Amino acid sequence: MDWFLAPPTAQAASALRAELAALFRRHAREADELADAELVVSELLSNAVEHAGGPVWVSLDWSAPQPLLVVHDLGPTFELGTLSLPDVAGPRGRGLWLVSRLAGDLRVAAKRGTGKRVETTLPLTRRVERSLDPPRRRVNPLPAVDEAGPTGFGREAFLRALVVELARTADAGHGPHVTEQLVAQVGATVGGQMEDEYRRARAVVGRLTPEQVTECYLRLKSAIDGDFYVISVDADRIVLGNRRCPFGETVRHAPALCRMTSSVFGGIAARNHGDAVVLLDERIAVGDPECRVTVLLGSAARDNPGGHHYRAPAG
């Protein structure tokens, strides 16, 4: 899940803290874990708002038992060094030390452009819940294969499918992670149809090789006005960069749309290699200059605890 704070005011941070606290209360396994997690969130949001230098993006990935909180901003980076107990009489300096004590794995990294990424694993554990790896719908798939042009599906067909499938999924059910659930369903269905179009265009039968999976990704993203390019491909992973988001600059206001890329890429990879994990390493949607996406295949996916996990449908 992703949030966008612009301008990054104390009021906006307070509202987000309240939203995250409510999320934690709904899904945490133990009530006595909540206070420490909420304090970590409060300190990191306050630090980002004070030093942001522009918008702030906040991401929470709770696909593992413990949630990963990531805060992106465009302000100056800093070195953690060796954090020590600050002067208790001083008015400042306790926030990061508290985070390091409560969470224990505080990490800071400069972005390739301007700004930094601060992340930590929050000290609470999620109750077991169902996955967000929905099956591809086979009834009236959108868009139709015959709508594809010489280079694949065009933007109009893709966006129409996006809206229709989002509305269809909204009618089918609701949940605590509505936005990501909707976008994941769209990616699963539309991505499957895009794979079918690629197979027909290339006359491919059987399992797609990693190189063919990569070509399929590039074809479909180019058709909807993305600018993806290959960084590396081998037997167990595909790494792609992207210079332009198909959703344009508005994606910075709705970073949850990145789940579309994850679901499309993960579904295609899993159907052809059994298991897949998609890692959204860098994202234009959270202030990075480009996107960087890693797709792990087969055993490499099964051995990786992070990211978004996908499996081939049974049967």
Residue 61 belongs to domain with CATH number: 3.30.565.10
Same domain, 58 and 207: no
Same domain, 97 and 237: no
Low-confidence ranges of the chain (pLDDT < 50): 89-91, 167, 175-176
Look at residue 132 and tell me if it is in a domain: no
Same domain, 14 and 111: yes
Residue 294 belongs to domain with CATH number: 3.30.1380
Residue with tokens 């499938």: 165
**Distance (Å) of CA 234 to CA 23, 34, 140, 306:** 39, 42, 35, 20
**Distance (Å) of CA 72 to CA 32, 119, 160:** 28, 9, 31
pLDDT of residue 207: 94
pLDDT of residue 128: 62
Residue numbers of the domain that contains 58: 2-121
pLDDT of residue 229: 97
Same domain, 194 and 256: yes
- Predicted TM-score (pTM) of the model is 0.67
Of the residues 105, 121, 137, the one at which a domain ends: 121
Q: Is 65 left (phi over 0), alpha (psi -120 to 50) or beta?
A: alpha
Same domain, 149 and 22: no
Look at residue 127 and tell me if it is in a domain: no
Same domain, 46 and 114: yes
Give the whole-angstrom CA distance, residue 253 versus residue 107.
Answer: 25
Same domain, 152 and 262: yes
Q: Is 135 left (phi over 0), alpha (psi -120 to 50) or beta?
A: beta
pLDDT of residue 267: 94
pLDDT of residue 91: 46
Same domain, 105 and 180: no
Give the whole-angstrom CA distance, residue 240 versus residue 175.
Answer: 31
Same domain, 96 and 14: yes
pLDDT of residue 61: 86
pLDDT of residue 298: 94
Count of structural domains within the chain:
2
pLDDT of residue 31: 85
